[in-house]
Amino acid sequence: MATATPQRPQGQSMPTPQPTLGESLRRNGVSRRGFLKLCAATASLMALPPSMAPAIAAALESARRPSVIWLSFQECTGCTESLTRSFSPTVENLILDTISLDYHHTLQAAAGDAAEHAREEAMHANAGQYLVVVDGSLPGPRANPGYSTIAGISNYDMLMETVADAAAVIAVGSCAAFGGLPKADPNPSGAVAVQDLVKDKPVINVSGCPPLPMVITGVLAQYLTFGKLPELDEYNRPLAFFGQSIHDRCYRRPFYDKGLFAETFDDEGAKKGWCLYRLGCKGPMTYNACATMKWNGGVSWPVEAGAPCLGCSEPDFWDAGGFYDALSVPPGNSGDMLLAAGAAGVAVGAGAGLLARSKTKSAAKQHQTVTAAELEQKL
C-alpha cells in the first residue's frame, strides 16, 4: 500500500493532535499539483462532478484522519477482498492510509488480547468521533450467540459495545446492510442486519456482494472530506452511488429500448451484445454503480462480460427467485406496460426502472415469476 502518512504500530495510542491531511501530504513531498490531481480523482471516486475538485481541495486541506474500527461478523471476507483488491497504490490507498484503521481482523498484525486491546483503546481515545465499519450479518439478540463469536464475545455484544460511542456506522456489503446470505431462507442462525439493531446512530448501507471497492472507499472519502454523512436513499444507501439503477446506466440500454434481447447465452443477440433482460438481468430493480465505475480498475463488469446482473445490492436478493429467470412480472396494467415498452421499442426512460422496482416489491411477495418462454408468449 502507498504510505502517505507514517504507519503507526497496532495497539499504540493515537498521537494528538494529528496533522491535517494537507500537512501530512506536503510532509510526504506531495506537490500542490499532486494535491489538485488527488482532488480531481477523489471527485471521480465520490461520483461527484469534477467541478467539485476545488471544494474538495479546500476541505481535504484541513481534514483529519478519522479513526476506523472494522468489525467482521457472519461474512466471507469478500468485502475486505474487494476493498484490498483496488489496485495498489492508488488514490484509494492514499485515502485509506489517511484514515487510521485501528482494528480489522484480517488486515491487522495484532492477534488475540492485543487486537481486542487495540479496539478498546481506539474507542476510548476517539469516543464520539470514530467510525465503525461492519461487514457481515450477526445473530440477533434472541438467536443463539454461539453461531458467531470473536474472542469469546458474541457478535451482538461486540457490535453494541463498539457502536455506543461511535459517530456513525457503515454497513459494508449486503450481509451487514440487509442480512444477505446468512439471513437467506431458512436463516438457521437468526441473522439480522446492522440497521435492525443500531437505532440511535446513523447507519449507512454500502450494499453489494461485494460492494465496488471504489464505493467503499468513496463513502469513507466523503466522510473524511466533508466531515458529514452523505445523502441516503430509502435503504440508507448513499445516493451518489446508489441513486440510479443498473438498467438506466447500462450501455446495453439502447437495445432494450429497441426491443433487441439475447434469448440464450450463445445466440446471435448475445454475440451482438443485446439486452440481457430475458436472461434474468435484475438491472431494472438494482441500484448500484457497476455500470459506470465497473470492476477490476474499470476493466469490465458482469453485463459487459455477458452475464445478467444478479441484483446483489438489493435486499434479500438471494431469495428473490432464480438468477437466470426473467424479472418477476407483476400483475396489472403497469406490468404490461413494462413488457410493451420492451416489445414496442418505446423509450420509457427512468420510469421503467422505478416502475419495475416498486412492482417487484409486490411481485416478490406474491412470488410470481415468469420464464423466458412465458415472456415470449406474452410479447
Q: How far is CA 86 from CA 16, 69, 80, 183, in A?
A: 30, 20, 10, 28
- CA angle in degrees (0–180, nearest 5) for 175-316-334: 145
- Give bridge partners of residue 101 from the DSSP assignment: 68
What does the radius of gyration of the chain's CA atoms come to, in whole angstroms? 22
- Cβ(179)–Cβ(193) below 8 Å: yes
Compute how many other C-beta atoms are within 10 angstroms of the C-beta atom of residue 138: 32
345 contacts another protein (rule: CB under 8 A)? no
Locate 108 and state its grid cell: 491487522
53 contacts another protein (rule: CB under 8 A)? yes
Q: How far is CA 69 from CA 163, 185, 204, in A?
A: 10, 30, 15
Locate 317 and state its grid cell: 436478493
Number of H helices, E strands in the chain: 18, 9
Candidate residues 14, 20, 40, 76; the one interacting with another protein per rule CB under 8 A:
40
Longest alpha-carbon distance in the chain:
69
Stretch that binds another protein, among 30-38, 157-165, 328-336, 370-378 (CB under 8 A): 30-38
How many residues bind to another protein according to rule CB under 8 A?
A: 41
For the CB of residue 45, give the shortest distance to another protein in the complex, in Å.
8
For the CB of residue 143, give the shortest distance to another protein in the complex, in Å.
40
For the CB of residue 81, give the shortest distance to another protein in the complex, in Å.
14
Nearer to another protein, 94 or 206 (CB): 94
Distance CA 17, CA 175 (A): 36
Q: Which helix (H) or strand (E) holds 119?
A: helix 112-125
The amino acid that residue 298 corresponds to is: G
For the CB of residue 376, give the shortest distance to another protein in the complex, in Å.
23
Q: Binding to another protein (CB under 8 A): which residues in 204-263?
A: 249-254
Q: Binding to another protein (CB under 8 A): which residues in 300-319?
A: 304
Nearer to another protein, 233 or 268 (CB): 268
Candidate residues 72, 90, 137, 195; the one interacting with another protein per rule CB under 8 A:
90
Candidate residues 15, 50, 332, 349; the one interacting with another protein per rule CB under 8 A:
50
3 contacts another protein (rule: CB under 8 A)? no
Candidate residues 144, 264, 296, 366; the one interacting with another protein per rule CB under 8 A:
296
For the CB of residue 11, give the shortest distance to another protein in the complex, in Å.
27
Distance CA 176, CA 134 (A): 6
For the CB of residue 304, give the shortest distance to another protein in the complex, in Å.
6
For the CB of residue 230, give the shortest distance to another protein in the complex, in Å.
16
Distance CA 151, CA 174 (A): 25
Q: Which residues, other chains included, contact 197 with Cβ-Cβ below 8 Å and sequence gap of 6+? A: 138, 140, 141, 156, 159, 160
59 contacts another protein (rule: CB under 8 A)? no
Nearer to another protein, 258 or 378 (CB): 258
78 contacts another protein (rule: CB under 8 A)? no
199 contacts another protein (rule: CB under 8 A)? no
Question: Residues in the site for another protein, rule: CB under 8 A?
Answer: 2, 30-34, 36-38, 40-41, 43-44, 47, 49-51, 53, 87-91, 94, 249-254, 271-273, 291-293, 296-299, 304
